[in-house]
Amino acid sequence: MRIWPIYKKELRLYFTSPVAYIVLTMFLLIGGYFFYSIFAFFTRASMQIAMNPAGARDLNVTDGVLRPLFQNLSVILLLLMPLVTMRLFAEERRSGTIELLLTYPVRDGAVLLGKYLAALTLYALMIAFTLAYPAILVYFARVEGGPLLTGYLGLLLMGAMFLAVGVFASSLTENQIVAAIVTFGILLMFWVIGWTSEFAGQPLGAILAHLSLLEHNENFSKGVIDTRDVIYYLNFTALGLFFTLRSLEARRWSG
Amino acid sequence: MIEVQNLTKRYGPVTAIRDVSFSVAPGQIVGFLGPNGAGKSTTMRILACFMPATSGSARVAGYDVFRESMEVRRRIGYLPENVPLYTDMRVAPYLEFVAEVKGVPRGQRKARVAEVMERCLIGDVQNRLIGKLSKGYRQRVGLAQAIVSDPHVLVLDEPTIGLDPRQIAEIRTLIRSLAGEHTVILSTHILPEVSMVCSGVVIINKGAIVAQGPIDRLVEEFFPTARLEVEIAGPRPAVHDAMRAIPGVVAVAERDGAGAPGRYVVESARGRDVRGEIFQLAAQQKWMLLELRQVGMTLEEVFMRIVAGEETAADGAAGVDVPEAAEADA
């Protein structure tokens, strides 16, 4: 499997075009703003509670800062991740380079993995930069290590899934905008799909709740690793990649 | 080196190529000819393992393009019609990427890329962005990526399209220099190009092979007679009949009606040179011989005859698939 050259090429393309820089900048700008506002709110809350110690047992950094932070970061990711993946196959298709790429002695799977891993690398870099926030937090307060780690694990798994959906959407079209919109649409749908679970009745409600992206991210930010959540994200990722592979193959047959 | 048997490709209801069979011997350069939309690109895409055929088989370097696709891809260099390249990459890194993907060992990669750039005359643009290159340079970069792994077989889809005459000449020289060590199949609809570069041709029209073989043989096959253009000042019917009477002459046709000096086209059996006899005849009769010229039958005329002949035949038959749309959208 010659994944490596494809991976290098894709990563190089991310950083020779403005895409990576813009996504990184926007992500960190908005992320930083959220972190500041959450932290400032938490600081004020702890001041108030200092006057009224009865409430202090409900106040901690994990619940007060990390959880809302991870949730807010997820929302930014929902908006930005489609832009990371939209180019991967759509642009190759539009410019026709896919015809050369898919006639080189590499399997479609290797092409896909190379591209996917390049996007994942960019994503890892994005969330690696956000480690600055907990670093600041550690300076001022005592932070529980466990929930921090699981929070990042959740973020990583969820991002992997976002990227898999995005790669799939990109393989469907030669228009990057279409790829981005389809990605965003699918992700948003799975984001909100759990909202109706309470009214849907059983067993439909339970199914909807299980499908929900949001529901599965909750546990991680609380510091809980539930295999159900891990499997949900991994399954979704695998399914996205599998569909992409099929879509590439289907395109071959239809020319 | 390339063997194609009964290859058929359908896009839904449209048949792009039908029962295509031909073969190319090692070291040869073969021209793949046909009007636009005849199925050239489709055939080449199948050879290059970009898409599978609906039925039939194709073998390249002894491997089946469908079942042993990886083996074929390792031995083939492909240049698609519109020369798709990564416009955001620079020339040398791009070629290094291609070399790596195609499995050129790490130690040889740099040297190989340098060699190919020199050969394709793109060394002076190696640090430029591909997107900023002129069409001629891009074409050469495309050719460079095809030959960077030193493949046995090259599949070039219209390698000279859109170039200026000087660039065309350069590309042709380059392609000719590849013969011998590489087997080349190149498609084109520029006929003089084929006569200049190729040793053999395969002519395809409306998805079916209509003729194939060495160029000379095809010309002989389609034009079994040699032609002379003769201009003689003399009484027309007498000149006509006298020339017709020369042994070996198959037909004499008069050109341009009633003008004073008569122009004639004399057809004789191939290999039978009647120029001497015509001269003798004119001298004896005291007719003035104004012009005596051999008309070379070119591939172009063969092509026009085949394609035009097919057209009239197809007009007669109802319900013939026209594969034009297929190639355009594929």
Q: Is residue B257 over pLDDT 70?
A: no
Number of domains in chain A: 1
Mean pLDDT, chain B, integer: 83
* Within a domain: B31: yes
Give the closest of B87, B88, B97 to A5, CB-based.
Answer: B97
CATH assignment of the domain containing B240 = 3.30.70.100
Summarize the confidence of residues A53-61 as an average pLDDT: 73
Distance CA A170, CA A179 (A): 5
- Closest chain B residue by Cα to residue A13: B88
Q: Which residues of A touch B86 (CB under 8 A)?
A: 9, 13, 95, 97
Shared domain for B246 and B203, answered yes or no, is: no
The Cα of A162 is separated from the nearest Cα of chain B by a number of Å equal to: 26
Going by pLDDT thresholds of 50, 70 and 90, the confidence category of residue B322 is very low
Tens digits of residue pLDDT in B140-181: 999 999 999 999 999 999 888 778 888 888 888 888 888 778
Report DSSP state, residue B158.
Answer: S
Residue A97 has a pLDDT of 93
Q: Which residues of B touch A255 (CB under 8 A)?
A: 9, 11, 42, 45, 51, 326, 330
Mean pLDDT, chain A, integer: 89
- Per the structure, the complete domain to which residue A110 belongs is given by 3-254
Residue B328 has a pLDDT of 39
Q: State whether A104 and B102 contact (CB < 8 Å).
A: yes
* Within a domain: B255: yes
Spatial neighbors of A129 by CB under 8 A, at least 6 apart, are A24, A27, A28
Instruction: Tell me the residues of chain B between 49 and 78 that have a Cβ less than 8 Å away from chain A.
Output: 49-52, 70, 73-74, 76, 78
Give the closest of A9, A13, A99 to B84, CB-based.
Answer: A99
Shared domain for B166 and B231, answered yes or no, is: no
Q: What's at B289, amino acid-wise? A: L
* Within a domain: B104: no
Tens digits of residue pLDDT in A159-208: 999 999 999 999 999 999 999 999 999 999 999 888 887 787 778 888 88
Shared domain for B188 and B290, answered yes or no, is: no
Tens digits of residue pLDDT in A102-117: 999 999 999 999 999 9
Shared domain for B213 and B274, answered yes or no, is: no
Shared domain for B291 and B158, answered yes or no, is: no
Shared domain for B229 and B286, answered yes or no, is: yes
Quote the ipTM score.
0.86
Flag the least confident range among A20-24, A55-59, B246-250. A55-59
Question: Residues A12, A114: contact at Cβ < 8 Å?
Answer: no
Flag the least confident range among A65-79, A171-185, B77-91, B294-308. B294-308
- Per the structure, the complete domain to which residue B249 belongs is given by 224-295
- Closest chain A residue by Cα to residue B72: A105
- Closest chain B residue by Cα to residue A17: B88
Q: Is residue A226 over pLDDT 80?
A: yes
Shared domain for B193 and B291, answered yes or no, is: no
Greater confidence, A230 or B261? A230
- Long-range contacts (CB closer than 8 Å, 24 or more residues apart) made by B198-201: B198/B29, B198/B30, B198/B31, B199/B28, B199/B29, B199/B30, B200/B24, B200/B28, B200/B29, B200/B30, B200/B31, B201/B30, B201/B31, B201/B32, B201/B33, B201/B299
Q: Which residues of A touch B97 (CB under 8 A)?
A: 5, 8-9
Give the closest of A5, A13, A106 to B88, CB-based.
Answer: A13
Nearest C-alpha neighbor of B188 from the set B166, B211, B162, B164? B162
Residue B259 has a pLDDT of 59
Nearest C-alpha neighbor of B322 from the set B37, B9, B19? B37
Q: State whether B101 and A254 contact (CB < 8 Å).
A: no
Give the closest of B9, B48, B84 to A97, CB-based.
Answer: B84
The Cα of B300 is separated from the nearest Cα of chain A by a number of Å equal to: 31
Q: Which residues of B touch A97 (CB under 8 A)?
A: 84-86
Q: Write the CA distances from B206 to B14, B77, B186, integer angstroms.
A: 11, 26, 18
The Cα of B322 is separated from the nearest Cα of chain A by a number of Å equal to: 17
Query: What percent of chain A is predicted at pLDDT more than 90?
Result: 60
Residue B313 has a pLDDT of 53
Q: Write the CA distances from A17 to A20, A102, B87, integer angstroms.
A: 7, 23, 11
Number of domains in chain B: 2
Enter the pTM of the model: 0.84
- Apex A240 CA angle, A239 and A246, nearest 5: 85
Q: Is residue B232 over pLDDT 50?
A: yes
Residue B236 has a pLDDT of 79
What sign does the dihedral A50-A56-A60-A64 (CA atoms) show?
negative
Q: Is residue A59 over pLDDT 90?
A: no
Query: What percent of chain B is predicted at pLDDT more than 90?
Result: 27
Going by pLDDT thresholds of 50, 70 and 90, the confidence category of residue B298 is confident
Spatial neighbors of B321 by CB under 8 A, at least 6 apart, are B14, B15, B18, B206, B207
Q: Is residue B317 over pLDDT 70?
A: no
Residue B323 has a pLDDT of 40
Shared domain for B35 and B169, answered yes or no, is: yes
Summarize the confidence of residues B219-231 as an average pLDDT: 79
Q: Which residues of B touch A254 (CB under 8 A)?
A: 11
H helices present in chain A, as ranges: 3-16, 19-51, 61, 67-85, 87-95, 97-101, 108-129, 132-140, 145-172, 176-192, 204-211, 213-222, 227-254
Residue B312 has a pLDDT of 57
Q: Is the peptide bond before B237 cis (omega within 30 degrees of 0)?
A: no
* Within a domain: B250: yes
- Closest chain A residue by Cα to residue B54: A253
Instruction: Tell me the residues of chain B between 116 and 145 that have a Cβ less than 8 Å away from chain A.
Output: 145
Reduced DSSP (H G I as helix, E B as strand, rest coil) percent helix, strand, coil of chain B, to 5: 40, 30, 30
CATH assignment of the domain containing B42 = 3.40.50.300
Summarize the confidence of residues B134-142 as an average pLDDT: 89
Give the closest of B85, B101, B103 to A6, CB-based.
Answer: B101
Flag the least confident range among A77-81, A89-93, A204-208, B268-272. B268-272
Residue B326 has a pLDDT of 39
Phi/psi class of residue B262: alpha, beta or left (left: φ > 0; alpha: ψ in -120 to 50)? beta
Shared domain for B14 and B67, answered yes or no, is: yes
* Within a domain: B276: yes
